[in-house]
Structure 1
Amino acid sequence: MQGSVADNQSTCQSPCQACGACCSYSRNWPRFTIEDDAALDLIPERFVNERLSGMRCEGDRCSALSGKVGEATSCMVYAVRPEVCRTCMPGDVECAMARKRHGLPILPVVPA
């Protein structure tokens, strides 16, 4: 995903900062996977779903996403975001599916 508003002003601009589609794809997507309790405790409670299994969503949109999808977005918990959010990369399969759903052009795969 992308950084906080302060991170958005850094010299390293990510295509994610003008997207946010992966964070607005499915209420089941931002799930906790390999995080330990200490890592999960860092995520503010208001952003965690009632089952404590993932991020709270409003419809298909993660509650920690701010901004308008496809224009300018940021993550309010970027520094402590779940592992699934850390592994989604610009241009990967998940990115392409999410961008397609929002009518955004598919990004080229960024080499590692």
Structure 2
Amino acid sequence: MEEIDQSNCCQSCGACCGYSQNWPRFSIESDEELALIPSGLVNARQSGMRCEGDRCSALQGDIGKATTCGIYAVRPQVCRTCMPGDAECAMARRKFGLPAIETA
């Protein structure tokens, strides 16, 4: 299996941010935390991030090549909890045909 460098794998992936329009949802964020997210990036129901298809509107770059989050410092909790190699990561990477990340 291909070895993946975990130190920067998220910046060369972005699959979790393009997996589903239901993924970047708000859950336990406070009103103050939500106020820091630009309103143009929030969906019409105010329940999560606005998406273009399945892709979060805050995602910049090309999935599987080079990506970054346009609101990384204030991203929702669901985005903070997705970790390289966890079940959600593996599921998203499969959707885009990317190799699994082996965790220690």
Tell me the TM-score normalized by structure 2. 0.92
User: Which of 88, 91, 94 is the equivalent residue of 1:94?
Assistant: 88
Q: How much is the aligned-residue C-alpha RMSD, in angstroms?
A: 1.2
SS of structure 2 residue aligned to 1:39: helix
Asked if residue 70 in structure 1 is aligned to residue 64 in structure 2, the reply is yes
Letter in 2 for 1:29: W
Give me the whole-angstrom Cα distance separating, in 1, the residues matched to 2:96 and 2:76.
22
How far is 1:42 from its partner?
Answer: 0.1
Aligned pairs (5 A) from 1:11-50: 13-50=7-44
How far is 1:14 from its partner?
Answer: 1.9
% identical equivalent positions: 66
Letter in 1 for 2:61: G
Give me the whole-angstrom Cα distance separating, in 2, the residues matched to 1:45 and 1:79.
15
For structure 2, list consecutive stretches of 5 or more residues without a partner in the other structure: 1-6
Structure 1: 4+ residue segments shifted above 3 A:
none
Q: Which residue number in structure 1 is paired with residue 4 of structure 2?
A: none
Number of matched pairs: 99
